[in-house]
Structure 1
Amino acid sequence: MEDVREVTRLIPPGRVTTYGAIADFLTLGSARMVGWALFQGVTVADDVPAHRVVNRRGELSGRNHFITPTTMQERLEAEGVVVRNDRVADFASRFWSPNELLNP
């Protein structure tokens, strides 16, 4: 669980990644395991930017795990990420892969 949180802390502001990208990087085998690890005790004051993790289509699938269903979108928009209909509008250009840690 801590490995997932550590990788999530490395996502740059204004960028997003997917549950699957983190799972692949950590060789967890399951994107669901990443979601489970991220949303155990998430709070507004949490130092893990879980709002930067979306599903493979760029959708804010974790939004209901935040204090309000709009918190995830509000945090992303505060970082300059455009969200339309619960989806990152420019997902391809905002996507950050944890593999960039290996090949900067």
Structure 2
Amino acid sequence: MTPEEYVEAVLALVERIPPGRVMSYGAVADALADGSGRNSARLVGAIMSRHGGGVPWHRVVNSAGRLPPGHEVRARALLRAEGTPMRAAGVDMAKAGWHPDEGV
């Protein structure tokens, strides 16, 4: 997979995350691992920062459920509007975490 194809794959996967559910940056990377070495949570975060404005970016959080840095207020509002299970510090990952194998 080329770097451009990887960007597209990340964005396509994020578009599949159902309302009310989330994935961590690392879970996105793991779901797309293809042996190319491009399965880094940091890389997914960079892709979301640069290219994620057209997808439901608020549904990608860190592994502890913390919201995207600098966008916490907007992300919290969007997630609450979708009925995403929340905790004081962010998303309740045990209840809201999603994996592509679950379907949409």
- TM-score when scaled to structure 2? 0.78
Gap regions ≥5 residues in structure 1: none
Counterpart for residue 95 of structure 2: 93
Offset, 1:77: 0.6
Counterpart for residue 15 of structure 1: 21
Partners of 1:4 and 1:42 lie apart in 2 by 9
Offset, 1:41: 4.8
CA contact (8 A) 1:22 1:98 kept: no
Counterparts in 2 of 1:1-104, with a 5 A limit? 1-27=7-33, 28-43=38-53, 46=54, 48-60=55-67, 62-64=68-70, 66=71, 69-88=72-91, 90-101=92-103
Moved over 3 A (4+): 82-86
Query: Quick check: which one's helix share is greater?
Result: 2
Offset, 1:84: 3.6
- TM-score when scaled to structure 1? 0.78
Offset, 1:96: 0.2
Counterpart for residue 3 of structure 2: none
Please give the per-residue CA displacement for 1:32-84, whole angstroms capped at 9, x wherever unaligned: 111111111554xx2x0010011111111x141x4xx4111111011012434
**Alpha-carbon RMSD:** 1.9
Report how many residues are paired: 94
Gap regions ≥5 residues in structure 2: 1-6
